[in-house]
Chain A
Amino acid sequence: MKSLEKFMRKLEPTHESKWAKFHPVWDSLYTFAFTPGETTKKGSHIRDGIDLKRTMFMVIVALIPCLLFGIYNTGHWHYFAEGTAGGFMDHFGDKLIYGLLKVLPIVIVSYGVGLGVEFIFCIRNKHAIQEGFLVTGMLIPLIVPADIPLWMVAVATVFAVVLGKEVFGGTGMNIVNIALTARAFLFFGYPTMMSGDKVWMSGIGDMAKENIPEGVTGATQLGELASFTGAPEDFAHASISAFESAWPIWESFMGIIPGSIGETSVLAILIGAGLLLYTGIGSWKIMVSFVLGGLAVGALAQATAVNPYMELSALNHMVIGGFAFGAVFMITDPVSAAQTSTGKYIYGFLGGALSITIRVFNGAYPEGVMMAILFMNVMAPMIDHYVIQSNIKRRLKRLKTA
């Protein structure tokens, strides 16, 4: 460790050297390995042992179960589409290798492109490089289908980092969740690669129709559910009970379902959630109220069901699609979420309610979590404003009566 520090100190670009411009790059790598030796010069600041770098790293650790499960799940559904999958744990090695070959390039492209953009902007603006992208770079691969072309990942990452974050002033200044901005860009830009029944099982898009085993539609559960909002002859299953027996809720909870890479397993997400809550990085207020909002609308839809989709139980809504992933990793993004305590409850509840509302009542968008969270990101400052105003009013009243 001593020799590494000596080596890095030797590399440090000083003001005079021609590499002075690249000091932020050196600084970011140095502080990755060592605690910076400088102390604050002016004023007093209360410092916590856990700074931005440590916070971001903790979120990445929390995402690892999702990533590992996602890699294996990608392989499983590839062999499922070919009809040779067997049980979930059969052909363990083959599935793992296929998944690794599919997922790792996406992760590498996402990090490479995103950090590249971040470095360019930091050097231009003479900012220290912040670690905001470390988490985003991991989130982007987890919320896209495994078959997404790599150049699309690159384009979406550039779009999201530049227009979602850098134009507002870089890390900590984004008004919307950057990973979801990238996903929304892909969703609206290349809908054939982000929805439908050709992308959710890796490799199924290139297979001839007659090679696909009977009964494999290639659609996600949400895609099949969305058919219930159409004409009866297009229904993917005879009824909701047929759907529920085809997709047992337990398997959805474990994550043995087709979907975006990292969002299928509620179990893996819960492990991450536990870590985030234990370290206090994720806000439990937002997570809990998000789930409650979803349950409330799900239950309401079930109670007033007029079409088969609305009969789906509220609990089942929690474990399919990206709801759980959104609740733990997306809506809790501390920058774009509401800041006030009461605001967090309102923000989370409305986000969850809106997610299920879009799902159930809009057949054109089978999944509503992404749009609901982006919408609530934009609304968060307004929620905070009214919470603060009502607080001021309440205290004014108390002052007058006293």
Chain B
Amino acid sequence: MSEKIKAPKEPLFSKKNKRLVTEPLDDNNPVTLQVLGICSALAITVSIEQALIMTGAVFFVLGLGNVIISLLRNAIPSRIRIIVQLVVVAALVIIVNEVLKAYMPGPAEKLSVFVGLIITNCIIMGRFEAFAMANKPWPSFLDAVGNTLGYGMVLVIVSVIREIFGSGKFFGFPILGNNIVDPEANLELTGLYSIGYMNNNFIILAPFALFAVALVIWVQRARNKSLIEEH
């Protein structure tokens, strides 16, 4: 019997494939459960805009990278696989960086080195190693979608907390009133600031992101008891 046994063809959005997208959102979140990608969660969550751009950049790198690695997976000698993966990440990150600099110079300036540092984002190498090296392109792509969404979700939650309480803004719009006094430009305190409220500088500092991520983990585990480890 030399006839090849053909696996039954899987539908594009089978139950298994759907789980690839939904699982990283909660049960296997890359930031709050695997504690990957923490460095960027600390660095770029002072504003929602930055968090969204970062998520987009990571989606581009992880989505394309996962597909490329998955296509190449049978051709990569296992002894040099890390180098090959690095080359793929590096190439994609350079593309993202150049595109951001060309079309969004303002936000790119604020993100500064952190776009380049996507290359060290543990989620990306982690997914290459753990998933793309052993799966077909389509599931690999879905895996990238799920992980980016899980990562982006935490980033956005943290950045909403930090932007509102740290700089009194939501998406760059001052929702708590004006907090700059400038007699020449006819600016005075309005909204909450006129009754003595002040922005909290500590929330702008990177260490607060650790507290914010910890709060997210706390809420998540209180809601989803299956995540609590036994000791």
Q: Measuring CB to CB, which residues of chain A are less than 8 angstroms from any residue of chain B?
A: 149, 151-152, 155, 163, 167, 185, 188-193
Contact = CB atoms under 8 A, between A and B. Distances in A.
B171 interface: no
Interface in B175-215: 196-198, 200-203, 205, 211, 214
B13 interface: no
List 8 A-B pairs, minimum CB-CB distance, nearest first: A189-B202, A188-B202, A189-B200, A189-B201, A190-B198, A149-B196, A191-B201, A185-B202
Contacts of B211: 163
| Contact size range, B | 10 to 19
Nearest to A187: B202
Given A167-B218, A185-B202, A189-B201, 20 more contacts: A149-B196, A149-B198, A151-B196, A151-B197, A152-B198, A155-B200, A163-B211, A163-B214, A167-B214, A188-B202, A188-B205, A189-B200, A189-B202, A189-B203, A190-B198, A190-B200, A190-B201, A191-B201, A192-B198, A193-B198
A151 B218 CA distance: 25
5 contacts: A151-B196, A188-B202, A188-B205, A189-B201, A190-B201
Contacts of B205: 188
Nearest to A163: B211
A188 B201 contact: yes
A149 B196 CA distance: 8
Contacts of A152: 198
Looking at chain B's contact residues, the main secondary structure is helix
Interface of B: 196-198, 200-203, 205, 211, 214, 218
A166 B203 CA distance: 20
A185 B165 CA distance: 14
Contacts of B218: 167
Contacts of A149: 196, 198
A167 B198 CA distance: 27
A60 B161 CA distance: 36
Contacts of B203: 189
Contacts of A151: 196-197
A374 to B, nearest CB: 12
A188 B197 CA distance: 16
Contacts of A193: 198
A178 to B, nearest CB: 15
Of the listed residues B200, B214, B218, the one surrounded by the most CB atoms of chain A closer than 10 A to its CB is B200
B193 to A, nearest CB: 12
Contacts of B200: 155, 189-190
Contacts of A163: 211, 214
Contacts of B214: 163, 167
A188 B201 CA distance: 6
B166 to A, nearest CB: 9
B14 to A, nearest CB: 40
A188 B214 CA distance: 19
A383 B38 CA distance: 28
Contacts of B197: 151
Contacts of A189: 200-203
Contacts of A185: 202
Contacts of B196: 149, 151
A191 B196 CA distance: 15
B227 to A, nearest CB: 16
Contacts of A190: 198, 200-201
Of the listed residues B198, B201, B202, the one surrounded by the most CB atoms of chain A closer than 10 A to its CB is B202
Nearest to A186: B202
A155 B202 CA distance: 13
Of the listed residues A149, A188, A193, the one surrounded by the most CB atoms of chain B closer than 10 A to its CB is A188
Contacts of A192: 198
Nearest to B195: A151
Contacts of B198: 149, 152, 190, 192-193
Nearest to A191: B201
Nearest to B198: A190
B29 to A, nearest CB: 19
Nearest to A185: B202
A280 B182 CA distance: 57
A151 B205 CA distance: 21
A193 B211 CA distance: 23
B75 to A, nearest CB: 49
A196 B200 CA distance: 17
A120 to B, nearest CB: 14
Nearest to A192: B198
A152 B197 CA distance: 9
Nearest to A155: B200
A36 to B, nearest CB: 31
Contacts of A191: 201
B222 to A, nearest CB: 11
A189 B211 CA distance: 14
A158 B21 CA distance: 37
B38 to A, nearest CB: 18
A126 to B, nearest CB: 16
A387 B2 CA distance: 70
